[in-house]
Structure 1
């Protein structure tokens, strides 16, 4: 496939928003709930009106004392105003630090200590935790509900940071401990938006795009910035619960949808029961992680478009979107779901190496290393931990897999999740979710004596079918008897990644 080749442009969050607002002033942004920080926008606004309110909020932040170069932690409910606040912080030349509201006080205290007296914006969701973070000065706490009431007389001018300096931070998922702060510059983010704009140019019509991504995910700012630069109308879905999603989609006829793989899994029951809700979708887009074949097939079949496409993307926060593959109703039938696809020419690629960093030939499994022009700068205040994963321009992903003769990447496992005598836990999870429609989730972790332990969640309207379970795993390596947990009891990060090590620690404590 030949990809469009958008020009490279550094990404300043506010400047990108402003340019889009000038070019497409009346393009709509829809919300499924009122935004705490911007209630005046209601449930529908435009690029132009949203930009005006961003400048007002930036002026309020300036009145609070936030200046160019300051670091501003945004630690609040996961709604679209999280992003709008980041744009307002960027307008001031300050650095937005996007941190999940899930994180507890001890973790936040450590992370904010690294940031050297940052500011912190919080709302009702984090109001009980924010004042307890001992590394935040009291006069640097900004309550969002009070901020929006601050009167503004005039506005402040936009300030700019040097293009190569840190201008935005996200954090790692925290599946293995205290999250690391990932530092980005306008230059590094610019390469990521070039990648994403190339993808948007493959979509022939500028119709409504539905977006349900954690606002603190490194994917979020790239997705929204790129979408706006192309003039797509946006439907922001903040409430991902099935009942709420059903209500939201019944009011609109979106053209495209992007969400996390585990949200697709969670919503697949809805797509089976009410396929009409997804009939209008021409494109589905899964972020950064592997997704099983059966789930993609459900959404493709629900679509009534002539040629619906499910775009699977594999990447990491440190490198951005990397590897992609496009699936259709026809191609999904013969798909090996471990096949992630290929990189984007001149922007991203991967190689497979052994434990000593030597590149391996096709079909030999090893560590997956990434080459991305959009690689992050470092982990803030933890540069050594970042450079430990770098091999020149290459980044060790922590994943394990191989490439075939055609250059397609096959993802097998996280290196830390490898289990004795199991080639790929992800493959087992894929097969079980594809074959056993009564399951909502399957997670394979290390159990007693390093034997694979399945954790499963049964669909709310179904019963566990033990006979089919035992038939399905007959040819697999040894698995312990599955533990049945409620879907919501499986620990996850803000982006719905399963916290496998946390599960393993819990199992050890119970044994």
Structure 2
């Protein structure tokens, strides 16, 4: 597919927001709940009004002593004001550090120590944990509810960092231990927005786009910055609970939706029960991870659009969005959901290598190496760990898969999750979710004697059907009897990725 060409430009969060506000001042931004950090915006604002509030917030932070080059951690509830605060921090030439509110005090203490005397903004969600982080100076803890009470009088002008220097930090998912801090620059983020804007250009109308992504995910700033550059109205969905979601979608009728694969899986039950809530959608976009075929098909079939599209994107925080594939009602009928698709010419591509780092022939499995112009700079204070994954311009994704003769990428597993006699745990999980509509989740990990152990979650208001389960696994390799866990009991990262190694540790107890 030929994508529209977009001019490359570095991404300064505030400058991007400000330019968009000048170009499209009256375009709307909606929130499903009021924001703690920006109460004056209510649940509906415009690009221009939000821009003014950001400048006011930046001046409050300046009054407290935050200046150019300072690192400011956002450790708070997962709402849209997290992003608006990051934009305000960038106005001062300071560096937003996006950290999930899920992380415990012990982990936070280690991560904050790496940042060498950072500031930290918290709110009512993290109020009990934030003061216990020993590597933060108490005077540099900022309670968000108190911040908004500071009057804004004298205004400080915008300050800038060099485009090649660290200007934004996110963190890895932490599926294998203490998360690593990923350092991004305006230059590296600029290449990612070029990729993203080219995708948005394929959407012919500037209609409402619904967004439910973790605000600390590296995807978030790229998605919102690009949407605003193109002048799309935005609906921020903060609550993923089905009752709240039903109310939100009953009020709004979005044109497009992006969320995490696991949210799509959970929401598929709502689609089955109330399909009318999803008739307005023409575009669906799954973020940075594989998703099973059945879930995509449910959303596509709910749409009343003539040709709805489900865009599946594979990527990583270190490299940004990489590989994509577009699905329609017709194409999905014969889909192998492990097929991620292709990169964007000139911006992203992948290759498959063996243990000697030699590129292999089509249809031969190996490690997936990524090439992205938007690759991050490093892991902050852990440069060696970053360098261990680099091979010249190529990045070892940590994933395992193959490319076919057409150049399509097939994702099989994480390298660390490979299990004896199983080609792809992800493929089995997909097939089971597709076949068994009483399940919300299937996770296969290493169990006793390295035998694959399924962990399953039964959908609310449904019962486990053992007969259908055993029929569904007839053709699979040996699996242990599944353990039934509550969906919320399955350990996850901020972006809803399952922490498989934590499950394996739990099983050993």
Q: Normalising TM by the smaller chain, what interval?
A: over 0.9
| Aligned position for 1:251 | 251
| Aligned position for 2:415 | 415
What is the CA–CA distance in structure 1 between the aligned matches of 2:156 and 2:356, rounded to whole Å?
Answer: 54
- Structure 1 residue 154 displacement after superposition: 2.1
Q: What SS does the aligned partner of 1:17 have?
A: helix
Give 5+ residue unaligned stretches, structure 1: none
- Structure 1 residue 153 displacement after superposition: 1.0
Number of corresponding residues: 509
Following superposition of structure 1 onto structure 2, how do residues 22-421 of structure 1 map, counting pairs within 5 Å? 22-421=22-421
Higher mean Cα deviation, 147-156 or 190-199?
A: 147-156
| Aligned position for 1:5 | 5
Following superposition of structure 1 onto structure 2, how do residues 431-450 of structure 1 map, counting pairs within 5 Å? 431-450=431-450
Q: What SS does the aligned partner of 2:441 have?
A: strand
Aligned-residue RMSD, C-alpha: 0.4
Q: What SS does the aligned partner of 2:410 have?
A: strand
With the length of structure 2 as denominator, give the TM-score of the two structures: 1.00
What is the CA–CA distance in structure 2 between the aligned matches of 1:293 and 1:507, rounded to whole Å?
Answer: 29
- Structure 1 residue 461 displacement after superposition: 1.7
| Aligned position for 1:484 | 484
What is the CA–CA distance in structure 1 between the aligned matches of 2:47 and 2:35, rounded to whole Å?
Answer: 15
- Structure 1 residue 394 displacement after superposition: 0.1
What is the CA–CA distance in structure 2 between the aligned matches of 1:30 and 1:322, rounded to whole Å?
Answer: 29
What is the CA–CA distance in structure 2 between the aligned matches of 1:384 and 1:94, rounded to whole Å?
Answer: 25
Deviation string, structure 1 residues 361-392 (Cα, Å, up to 9, x no partner): 10000000000000000000000000000000
What is the CA–CA distance in structure 1 between the aligned matches of 2:448 and 2:5, rounded to whole Å?
Answer: 51
What is the CA–CA distance in structure 2 between the aligned matches of 1:39 and 1:301, rounded to whole Å?
Answer: 38
What is the CA–CA distance in structure 1 between the aligned matches of 2:346 and 2:273, rounded to whole Å?
Answer: 42
Deviation string, structure 1 residues 308-362 (Cα, Å, up to 9, x no partner): 0000000000000000000000001000000000000000000000011010010
| Aligned position for 1:424 | 424
Deviation string, structure 1 residues 273-312 (Cα, Å, up to 9, x no partner): 1111010000000000000000000000000001000000
What is the CA–CA distance in structure 1 between the aligned matches of 2:496 and 2:276, rounded to whole Å?
Answer: 25
What is the CA–CA distance in structure 1 between the aligned matches of 2:159 and 2:405, rounded to whole Å?
Answer: 50
Q: What SS does the aligned partner of 1:343 have?
A: coil
| Aligned position for 1:459 | 459
What is the CA–CA distance in structure 1 between the aligned matches of 2:124 and 2:232, rounded to whole Å?
Answer: 31
- Structure 1 residue 201 displacement after superposition: 0.1
- Structure 1 residue 240 displacement after superposition: 0.6
User: Which consecutive aligned stretches of 4+ in structure 1 deviate over 2 angstroms post-superposition?
Assistant: none
Give 5+ residue unaligned stretches, structure 2: none
Q: What SS does the aligned partner of 2:253 have?
A: coil
Deviation string, structure 1 residues 486-508 (Cα, Å, up to 9, x no partner): 11111111100001000000001
Q: What SS does the aligned partner of 2:101 have?
A: coil
With the length of structure 1 as denominator, give the TM-score of the two structures: 0.99
What is the CA–CA distance in structure 2 between the aligned matches of 1:154 and 1:47, rounded to whole Å?
Answer: 23
